[in-house]
């Protein structure tokens, strides 16, 4: 009935015209944003290229190429392609259930793969095999094939065209991995799986990591090691440094500011308190109190927030925290605060020239700003890059003096 009134028809027409105008404005606006971003990425790449000559091996330069390709295209397939061509092995696989969002962890133990639900880490889940649902000819198919070739541990794993899912004969105990590209097709497959009550076996995403090697495959322990584990999370890496160095470890200082992480860390390092010191602060370029991004609290990805968080975070500098300690190694993964934290470690680096293992993947500019800052302090540092996942994440910059 409302449509019979002229005023309403005029309003409807005006609304339609305004909607079309908005679309016309939004298209060039998005195009401008894309062009601006590409220009920013090219500037970062130009800066990153200045330090190519400081990388000591070809693998480092290949990883730099992958990061540059990712920055321009947003596609991280190059990292998995590199892993496949270089024969990388992975120690962990994270599988994300579509139902409930829970995460399965597949770990290599004694040469075999074992599957656990993170919420029940002591209970192993067993499956007879795996089905990867793919689009024929798609990039995700290439990625799925790389997953199989790289992991070397998914027994009886088969690729199935998503369009043929009803005829593929799913067994009663196969894990089902959705590697389909198009989101609408992914949704239809999810509905099909749910209709057969297979939610618990349905995996929406799969990421590979080599946490066994990360931080430990480049440097060998020296005498009287004093290690800084900056971004300690649950304390497990600090404990692994003790095992890595054995009697050569003088002390490990573990830094974290997330209350949930600190609770885990205290519990885990309790048996090692004679060798591990927990510093319940974040690292920064100055003493400061900010807020913690509460959406990430306890996830291992905590970061400071400028006004958006709810939990108070106390930050310090590494120079103030360790003072004159003879630091020999700094490992750092602090969710984008690496450059600020290195600035707060200026005197420690100048005095001791410690070996460094620094994450350089949280921000696009990390790949140029972090090596640039390190070399501005100690020009004789040699650089290496290593990568520890099937995605863009977990690129580590190593620096050392001969």
Q: Are 273 and 246 within one domain?
A: yes
Task: With respect to residue 291, please indicate whether it lies within any of the assigned structural domains.
Answer: yes
Which of 161, 180, 209 terminates a domain? The answer is: 209
Which of 147, 177, 209 terminates a domain? The answer is: 209
| Side-chain-facing half-sphere of 81: CA atoms under 13 Å | 15
- Per the model's pLDDT, the better-predicted residue between 136 and 235 turns out to be 235
What is the reported pLDDT for 307?
A: 55
Contact 222, 279 (CB under 8 A): no
Whether residue 7 is predicted with pLDDT greater than 80 in this model: the reply is no
| Among 125-129, 314-318, 363-367, the least confident range | 125-129
- Per the model's pLDDT, the better-predicted residue between 352 and 293 turns out to be 352
What is the reported pLDDT for 183?
A: 65
Task: With respect to residue 151, please indicate whether it lies within any of the assigned structural domains.
Answer: yes
Q: Are 195 and 280 within one domain?
A: no
What is the reported pLDDT for 1?
A: 41
Number of residues written out for the chain: 402
DSSP E strands in 110-156: the ranges are: 112-117, 120-125, 129-134
Whether residue 141 is predicted with pLDDT greater than 50 in this model: the reply is yes
Query: How many separate domains does the chain show?
Result: 2
Whether residue 186 is predicted with pLDDT greater than 70 in this model: the reply is yes
Task: With respect to residue 60, please indicate whether it lies within any of the assigned structural domains.
Answer: no
What is the reported pLDDT for 126?
A: 72
What is the reported pLDDT for 194?
A: 79
DSSP for 343-355 reads HTTHHHHHHH--E
Average pLDDT over residues 324-335: 96
Which of 178, 209, 240 terminates a domain? The answer is: 209
Q: Are 146 and 257 within one domain?
A: no
Task: With respect to residue 73, please indicate whether it lies within any of the assigned structural domains.
Answer: no
How many other CB atoms are there within 10 angstroms of residue 139's CB atom? 11
What is the reported pLDDT for 295?
A: 47
Whole-prediction pTM value?
0.82
Q: Are 182 and 117 within one domain?
A: yes
What is the reported pLDDT for 190?
A: 81
β-bridge pairing 225-230 and 174-178: unpaired
Task: With respect to residue 306, please indicate whether it lies within any of the assigned structural domains.
Answer: yes
First to last CA, the chain: 84
- CA 49, chain centre distance (Å): 23
Q: Are 328 and 294 within one domain?
A: yes
Task: With respect to residue 331, please indicate whether it lies within any of the assigned structural domains.
Answer: yes
Question: Cα–Cα distance between 395 and 391 in angstroms, integer?
Answer: 10
Q: Are 240 and 336 within one domain?
A: yes
Which pLDDT tens digit goes with each residue over 208-217?
Answer: 788 889 999 9
- pLDDT classification of 365: cutoffs 50, 70, 90: very high
- CA 259, chain centre distance (Å): 21
Q: Are 262 and 237 within one domain?
A: yes
Percent of the chain whose pLDDT exceeds 70: 78
| Domain span at 293 | 225-359
Average pLDDT over residues 251-279: 95
What residues contact 227, with CB distance under 8 A and at least 6 apart?
A: 238, 241, 245, 249, 251, 252, 253, 327, 328, 329, 330, 331
- Kindly report the CATH number assigned to the domain that includes residue 236: 3.40.50.150
What is the reported pLDDT for 154?
A: 57
What is the reported pLDDT for 4?
A: 47
What is the reported pLDDT for 2?
A: 41
- Per the model's pLDDT, the better-predicted residue between 112 and 354 turns out to be 354
Q: Are 105 and 161 within one domain?
A: yes
- Per the model's pLDDT, the better-predicted residue between 344 and 88 turns out to be 344
- Per the model's pLDDT, the better-predicted residue between 167 and 399 turns out to be 399
DSSP E strands in 295-337: the ranges are: 304-305, 311-316, 329-332
Average pLDDT over residues 313-337: 96
Task: With respect to residue 373, please indicate whether it lies within any of the assigned structural domains.
Answer: no
Question: Cα–Cα distance between 391 and 67 in angstroms, integer?
Answer: 10
The mean predicted confidence, pLDDT, of the chain is 83
Name the residue among 250, 346, 357, 258 with its Cα closest to residue 304. 258
- Per the model's pLDDT, the better-predicted residue between 134 and 329 turns out to be 329
What is the reported pLDDT for 298?
A: 45
Which pLDDT tens digit goes with each residue over 43-84?
Answer: 999 999 999 999 999 999 999 999 999 998 888 888 988 988
Q: Are 277 and 308 within one domain?
A: yes
What is the reported pLDDT for 181?
A: 63
Task: With respect to residue 400, please indicate whether it lies within any of the assigned structural domains.
Answer: no
Q: Are 182 and 115 within one domain?
A: yes
Whether residue 196 is predicted with pLDDT greater than 90 in this model: the reply is no
Q: Are 189 and 287 within one domain?
A: no
Question: Cα–Cα distance between 100 and 283 in angstroms, integer?
Answer: 34
Whether residue 236 is predicted with pLDDT greater than 70 in this model: the reply is yes
Q: Are 168 and 102 within one domain?
A: yes
Whether residue 5 is predicted with pLDDT greater than 50 in this model: the reply is no
| DSSP class of 334 | -
Give the strand order in the sheet containing 304-305. Answer: 282-283, 311-316, 288-292, 304-305
- Per the model's pLDDT, the better-predicted residue between 368 and 38 turns out to be 368
- Per the model's pLDDT, the better-predicted residue between 304 and 117 turns out to be 117
């Amino acid at each position: 009935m409302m449509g019979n009134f002229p005023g309403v028809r005029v309003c409807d027409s005006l609304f339609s015209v305004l909607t079309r105008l908005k679309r016309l404005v939004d298209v060039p606006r998005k195009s401008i944003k894309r062009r601006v971003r590409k220009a920013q990425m090219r500037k970062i790449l130009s800066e990153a290229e200045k330090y190519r000559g400081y990388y000591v091996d070809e693998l480092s330069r290949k990883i730099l190429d992958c990061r540059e390709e990712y920055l321009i295209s947003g596609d991280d397939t190059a990292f998995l392609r590199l892993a496949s061509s270089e024969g990388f092995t992975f120690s962990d696989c994270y599988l994300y259930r579509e139902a409930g969002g829970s995460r399965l962890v597949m770990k290599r133990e004694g040469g075999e793969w074992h599957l656990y639900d993170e919420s029940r880490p002591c209970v192993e889940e067993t499956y007879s095999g795996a089905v990867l649902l793919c689009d024929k000819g798609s990039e995700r198919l290439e990625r799925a094939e790389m997953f199989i070739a790289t992991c070397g541990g998914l027994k009886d794993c088969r690729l199935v065209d998503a369009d043929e899912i009803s005829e593929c004969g799913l067994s009663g105990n196969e894990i089902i991995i959705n590697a389909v590209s198009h989101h609408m097709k992914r949704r239809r497959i999810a509905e099909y799986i749910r209709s057969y009550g297979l939610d618990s076996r349905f995996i929406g995403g799969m990421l590979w990591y080599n946490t066994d090697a990360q931080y430990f495959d480049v440097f060998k322990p020296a005498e009287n090691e004093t290690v800084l584990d900056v971004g300690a999370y649950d304390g497990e890496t600090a404990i692994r440094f003790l095992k890595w160095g054995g009697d050569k470890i003088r002390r490990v200082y573990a830094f974290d500011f997330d209350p949930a992480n600190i609770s885990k860390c205290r519990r885990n390092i309790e048996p090692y308190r004679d060798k591990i010191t927990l510093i319940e602060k974040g690292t920064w370029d100055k003493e400061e109190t900010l807020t913690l991004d509460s959406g990430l609290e306890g996830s291992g990805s905590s970061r400071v927030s400028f006004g958006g968080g709810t939990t108070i975070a106390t930050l310090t500098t590494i120079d103030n925290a360790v003072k004159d300690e003879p630091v020999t190694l700094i490992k750092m993964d602090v969710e984008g605060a690496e450059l600020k934290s290195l600035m707060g470690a200026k005197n420690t680096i100048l005095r001791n020239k410690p070996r460094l293992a620094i994450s350089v993947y949280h921000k696009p500019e990390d790949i140029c700003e972090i090596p640039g800052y390190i070399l501005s302090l100690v020009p004789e540092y040699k650089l290496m890059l290593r990568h520890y996942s099937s995605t863009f994440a977990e690129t580590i910059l190593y620096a050392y003096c001969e």
